[in-house]
């Protein structure tokens, strides 16, 4: 159980996918806590690995929350700036004209931000 806690904790840090990484981190914390309980009762060993699983699980959970908040803020900022509409509009344009569309829409967005009405 202690080894599994440590492995899940490390995975939650390395593969910090929003939501999935957080779930893996929580599993690491739970397994580590259970393993520490078993060590305390004298039923099992691996106190260091169990403690490492709890610590890496906590770090992984915090990291995953921060990454989720960061991506949420980026998505919100893009949606608020009008860039998303530009991206969707220009994705419908034939490939040969796509860059011109992107350039034009980018200039419009910059002008709107400089001169809000």
92: nearest Cα among 82, 101, 80, 103: 101
Cα–Cα distance measured from residue 82 to residue 79, given in angstroms and rounded to the nearest whole number: 6
Domain boundaries, the chain: 2-75, 82-117
Residues 10-34 have pLDDT tens digits of 999 998 777 888 999 999 999 999 9
Q: What angle do CA 110, 115, 117 make, to 5 degrees?
A: 125
Task: Provide the pLDDT for residue 116.
Answer: 67
Flag whether pLDDT at 102 surpasses 70.
yes
């Amino acid at each position: 159980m202690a080894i599994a806690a440590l492995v899940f904790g490390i995975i939650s840090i390395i593969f910090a996918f929003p939501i999935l990484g957080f779930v893996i981190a929580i599993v690491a914390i739970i397994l580590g806590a259970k393993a520490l309980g078993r060590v305390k009762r004298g039923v099992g060993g691996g106190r260091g690995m169990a403690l490492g699983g709890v610590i890496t699980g906590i770090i992984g959970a915090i990291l995953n929350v921060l990454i989720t908040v960061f991506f949420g803020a980026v998505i919100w900022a893009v949606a608020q700036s009008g860039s998303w509409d530009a991206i969707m509009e220009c994705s419908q344009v034939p490939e040969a004209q796509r860059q011109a569309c992107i350039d034009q829409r980018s200039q419009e967005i910059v002008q709107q931000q400089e001169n809000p009405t």
